């Protein structure tokens, strides 16, 4: 070590400079330029000089005549994929207050950036970041003590370089620091990162050797006196202007490690939808998002992020097609639970099908069973949903959030769903695509009632115009741990349906406003109400459409609509009343699998006929099936001692389902002679022909 180096080191120990960490090499003698200013020789290593320029962050012009060294600022990226606030509660760890002892790892990304002072100070030339930049970071966590004083706890962090200008900073927290950091990150915004990066540069020093006998102004080290200039860019002091006037000495440059101090307020930067799910807690082998501060104050267990959204008031009166609304505190998802699920109508038609399959039961009556499949979906009025999307923006939960309104995503596997309105069928439920649910109903022989009779009863109820007799319940899923079941109605009825993709609407230009509605499906639609919708605003006043029927594949013009960016229309299927059996196949796809024919009973019941009073000795019924005559049906003969008789006939499955129109010829034998009565009867709608006195007259 040279004499001057030793003296300079002693000087730094006695008079430390906050911007200097220490010397890293031997001094470099200055050279004097034509203007009398000291500079670095051409062969000196290229490092910045630490005299401040007129602005902070900008270092003096160094060996590069047209270049400037700069100190970077650090900023937070708008969306940080590396961000994490991971809390762990270990088994057996208990805090002094008896609550959980939390440990947390906070990881965030810092990016080097040009400060405004750099951008405004450097007019031309090249910018170079200071060399060998090594970030050193601490997390400053303010905590209010019991006496109302605020103590700032500083937690050192570790860094890892991601790219040339980006690195992660990681901090390990424990105990009360975890709860405090969480509150600052999500509520108060007082957390900050303090950083002291180090870099390499030249410290400019005026070195003098005072003459013996002259007063000494300042300490002397190894016979030398040092005066250093600048502060490494920490402030915007005036640049160094060297002058040797009336002084004996020389300027030298010491290679040093320097540092600069800055801080970055985190505020509520990470209290956003993009980062909220990255606040997690792990306990008992389970990791889940942190819902709120209660997760840190209590021992963590399974907990739903959803709570009922009550700030909207009475949901069912404001949005008649909805039942309840739930708010996801982590995801920002607002789930609207519909008042009921119904058969889904799309551009392909009603998603309902009936399959006939072989019934291999040894005790079968008809030889087959029937399998219904329905795709059901929320019957949520699109105008109600548009109003809800606008209304949630004004709730307290929406402050600083981007809330997304959604319908339930499927079934709650913990709670069974059921079809209570048709106990003769076996119902099963499964998740479908998106918001849809798959419902299947199997109908078999139920002695003494054959499957064909039951399936026709089911079809009649499917088209019932009154209160839906085919009703049930669906348990919808919010998440896997919501504590109470959330149930809503299931209505299997062609007159109350869910809709999606079957109708498109387009606002048309011109005045007054109009819109075009196009039925994209094969089935006729009845249009009920329409409303204009603008993004972020409540829908306009509802416009009654008078039950207008829009035929499949057709378009129509809607008057009084089209002033918004979109038009929503509430609608339902147009179903004839009554619905003929043959027309049922327009709404229900019918498939026959392996079963071509079924055994169907034809029954004549004359128990209500007073044979003696009418003088009837025998009554013969000859049945002729109109749709599919096939083999003749054996005649049935009834008498006072045999008032009920039936016969099984083999019929095509579709005939047994769509209808068995028949002509029945009754031959009435009395003491005075024989007469005949002809009548029409459908043995599907009414499997038993009941004969009374009025029938034979």
Encode pLDDT of 299-334 as tens digits.
888 889 999 999 999 999 999 999 999 999 998 999
Whether a cis peptide bond, with omega within 30° of 0, leads into 652 is no
Q: Average pLDDT over the chain, rounded to whole? A: 87
Looking at residue 12, what DSSP letter applies? H
**Is residue 676 a contact partner of residue 669, using CB atoms and an 8 Å limit?**
no
- Please choose, from the candidates 660, 666, 665, 667, the residue with its C-alpha nearest in 3D space to the C-alpha of residue 686: 660
Residue with tokens 């099936």: 625
Q: Using CB atoms within 10 Å of the CB of residue 486, give its burial: 0 to 12 exposed, 13 to 18 middle, 19+ buried.
A: buried
Gap between the Cα atoms of 383 and 547, Å rounded:
16
Query: Residue 331 region, left (φ>0) first, then alpha (ψ -120 to 50), else beta?
Result: alpha
Q: What would the DSSP string read from start to end of 265-288? A: E-TTTT-SHHHHTTEEEEETTEEE
Residue with tokens 């990255």: 278
Whether a cis peptide bond, with omega within 30° of 0, leads into 176 is no
The phi and psi torsions of 533 (rounded to 5 degrees) equal: -130, 135
Q: Which of 289-298, 315-324, 580-589 has the lowest mean pLDDT?
A: 580-589
Average of per-residue pLDDT across 16-33? 90
pTM for the full predicted model:
0.71
Asked if the model's pLDDT at residue 1 lies above 80, the reply is no
Encode pLDDT of 40-52 as tens digits.
888 888 888 887 6
Looking at residue 232, what DSSP letter applies? T
Question: What's the pLDDT at 62?
Answer: 46
Average of per-residue pLDDT across 616-644? 83
Strand-strand pairing, 352-358 and 589-592: parallel
Tokens linked to 509: 């230009």
Q: What would the DSSP string read from start to end of 81-105? A: TT-EEEEEEEEEEE-TTSSEEEEEE
With cut-offs at 50, 70 and 90, classify the pLDDT of residue 53: low
**Is residue 295 a contact partner of residue 288, using CB atoms and an 8 Å limit?**
no
With cut-offs at 50, 70 and 90, classify the pLDDT of residue 466: confident
Residue with tokens 């002693």: 10
- The strand ranges marked E within 209-339 are 225-228, 249-259, 262-265, 279-283, 286-289, 306-308, 322-328, 333-338
Asked if the model's pLDDT at residue 678 lies above 70, the reply is yes
Encode pLDDT of 121-135 as tens digits.
665 556 777 888 888
Encode pLDDT of 640-673 as tens digits.
888 888 787 776 666 656 667 788 999 999 988 8
Gap between the Cα atoms of 4 and 11, Å rounded:
10
Burial 351-361 (b: 16+ CB within 10 A, else e): bbebbbbebee
Tokens linked to 341: 């699920």
What is the radius of gyration, based on Cα positions, of the chain? 44
Encode pLDDT of 87-99 as tens digits.
999 988 888 888 8
Q: What would the DSSP string read from start to end of 564-633? A: SSEEEEEEEE---SS--HHHHHHHSEEEE-S--EEEEEEEEE-TTS-HHHHTEEEEEEEEEESS---SPP
Q: What would the DSSP string read from start to end of 99-160? A: SEEEEEEEEEEEEEE--HHHHHH--SSEEEEPSS-B--EEEEEEEE-TTS-EEEEEEEEEEE
Whether a cis peptide bond, with omega within 30° of 0, leads into 178 is no
Asked if the model's pLDDT at residue 63 lies above 50, the reply is no
Question: What's the pLDDT at 284?
Answer: 84
Question: What's the pLDDT at 117?
Answer: 66
Gap between the Cα atoms of 305 and 291, Å rounded:
6
**Is residue 218 a contact partner of residue 14, using CB atoms and an 8 Å limit?**
no
Tokens linked to 435: 């918001």
Average of per-residue pLDDT across 605-623? 89
Question: What's the pLDDT at 61?
Answer: 41
**Is residue 681 a contact partner of residue 636, using CB atoms and an 8 Å limit?**
no
Gap between the Cα atoms of 257 and 598, Å rounded:
95
């Amino acid at each position: 070590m040279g004499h001057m180096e030793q003296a300079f080191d002693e000087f730094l120990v006695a008079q430390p400079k906050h911007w200097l960490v220490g010397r890293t090499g031997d001094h470099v003698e200055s050279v004097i330029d034509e203007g009398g200013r000291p500079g670095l020789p051409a062969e000196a290593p290229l490092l910045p000089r630490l005299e401040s320029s007129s602005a902070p962050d900008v270092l003096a012009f160094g060996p590069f005549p047209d270049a400037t060294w700069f100190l970077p600022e650090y900023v937070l990226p708008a969306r940080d994929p590396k961000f994490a606030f991971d809390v762990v509660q270990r088994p057996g760890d208990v805090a002094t207050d008896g609550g959980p002892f939390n440990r947390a790892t906070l990881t965030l990304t810092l990016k080097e950036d040009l400060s405004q002072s750099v951008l405004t100070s450097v007019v031309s030339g090249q910018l170079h970041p200071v060399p060998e930049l090594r970030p050193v970071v601490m997390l400053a966590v303010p905590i209010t003590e019991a006496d109302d004083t605020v103590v700032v706890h500083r937690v050192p962090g570790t860094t890892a370089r991601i790219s040339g200008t980006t690195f992660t900073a990681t901090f390990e927290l424990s105990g009360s620091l975890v709860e405090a950091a969480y509150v600052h990150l999500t509520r108060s915004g007082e957390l900050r990162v303090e950083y002291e990066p180090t870099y390499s540069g030249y410290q400019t020093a005026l070195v003098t050797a005072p003459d013996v006998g002259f007063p000494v102004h300042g300490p002397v080290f190894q016979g030398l006196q040092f005066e250093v200039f600048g502060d490494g860019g920490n402030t915007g002091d005036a640049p160094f202007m060297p002058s040797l006037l009336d002084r004996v000495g020389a300027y030298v440059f010491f290679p040093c490690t320097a540092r600069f101090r800055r801080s970055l307020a985190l505020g509520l930067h990470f209290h956003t939808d993009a980062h909220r799910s990255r606040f997690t807690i792990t306990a008992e082998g389970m990791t889940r998002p942190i819902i709120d501060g209660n997760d840190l104050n209590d021992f963590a267990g399974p907990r739903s992020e959803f709570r009922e959204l009550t700030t909207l008031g009475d949901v069912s009166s404001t949005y008649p097609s909805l039942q309840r609304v739930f708010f996801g505190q982590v995801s920002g998802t607002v789930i609207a639970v519909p008042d009921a699920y119904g058969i889904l109508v799309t551009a392909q038609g009603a998603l309902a099908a009936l399959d006939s399959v072989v019934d291999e039961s040894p005790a079968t009556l008809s030889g087959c069973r029937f399998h219904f499949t329905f795709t059901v979906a929320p019957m949520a009025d699109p105008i109600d949903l548009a109003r809800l999307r606008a209304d949630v923006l004004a709730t307290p939960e929406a402050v600083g959030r981007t809330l997304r309104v959604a319908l339930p995503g499927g079934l709650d596997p913990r709670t069974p769903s059921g079809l209570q309105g048709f106990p003769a069928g076996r119902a099963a439920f499964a998740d479908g695509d998106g918001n849809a649910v798959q419902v299947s109903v199997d109908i078999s022989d139920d002695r003494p009632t054959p499957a064909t009779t039951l399936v026709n009863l089911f079809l009649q109820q499917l088209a019932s115009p009154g209160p839906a007799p085919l009703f049930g319940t669906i348990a919808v899923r919010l998440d896997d741990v919501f504590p109470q079941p959330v149930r809503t109605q299931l209505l299997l009825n062609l007159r109350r349906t869910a809709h999606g993709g079957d109708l498109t609407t387009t606002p048309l230009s011109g005045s007054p406003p109009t819109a075009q509605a196009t039925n994209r499906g094969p089935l006729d639609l009845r249009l009920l109400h329409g409303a204009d919708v603008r993004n972020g605003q409540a829908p306009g006043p509802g416009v009654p459409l008078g039950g207008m029927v829009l035929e499949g594949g057709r378009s129509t013009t809607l008057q009084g609509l089209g002033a918004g960016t979109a038009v929503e229309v509430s609608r339902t299927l147009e179903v004839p009343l009554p619905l003929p059996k043959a027309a049922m196949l327009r709404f229900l796809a019918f498939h026959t699998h392996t079963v071509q024919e079924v055994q169907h009973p034809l029954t004549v019941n004359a128990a209500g006929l007073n044979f003696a009073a009418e003088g009837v000795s025998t009554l013969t019924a000859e049945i002729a099936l109109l749709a599919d005559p096939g083999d003749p049906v054996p005649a049935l003969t009834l008498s006072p001692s045999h008032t009920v008789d039936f016969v099984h006939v083999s019929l095509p499955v579709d005939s047994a389902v769509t209808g068995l129109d028949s002509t029945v010829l009754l031959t009435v034998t009395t003491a005075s002679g024989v007469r005949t009565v002809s009548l029409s009867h459908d043995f599907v709608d009414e499997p038993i022909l009941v004969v009374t006195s009025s029938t034979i007259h």
